[in-house]
Amino acid sequence: MFSVVVPLILPLGILYFCFRYQVDKYNYMFHVYADLDFNSNGTLAVTAIKYMLFAVSFMQFAMAGFFLSQDDTWMPVAGGFMLFFSLMSWVTLLCYSVVPPESISAREASRLKNSEGVQVLLPRQRQELREAYRQPCGIASVCDCAV
């Protein structure tokens, strides 16, 4: 729907991803990223999610304006709902940025570090990681992978 409003998005997006593919292919072939340390302790993911949620709510806001300008009977109603929900998303994002995640006790406990600065996982978190990274044939009763 948004590409109907701005028809240049699709061809420019295709052009961007083609160039990006070529650049990444070259960088990985010649080990450009081999010596870099990409450890951010999870702060990159939190920032990316905040930007993504803001972008989605901004798109809702723009589409609400498009819907409100239509002459159809139900389009302004849909635009009003989208406007309301996009504004509520912005308020939620603002509240989340005002109250830092470190103020929540469960997150404080999950961010504990030992004397070497390595994050200490709670027993429940360790168990969840074990289950998430377990091989599908790791449990003999679930599947029989004998060859």
Q: What is the pLDDT of residue 13?
A: 87
pTM to 2 decimal places: 0.47
- Among 87-91, 93-97, 109-113, the range with the most confident prediction by mean pLDDT is 87-91
DSSP-assigned letters across all residues of 17-72: HHHHHHHHHHHHHTTTTTT-----TTHHHHHHHHHHHHHHHHHHHHHHHHHHT--S
pLDDT in tens, 34-92: 776 666 677 777 788 888 888 888 888 888 888 888 888 888 888 888 889 888 888 88
In the chain, where the domains are located: 1-36, 43-99, 114-147
Q: What is the pLDDT of residue 74?
A: 87
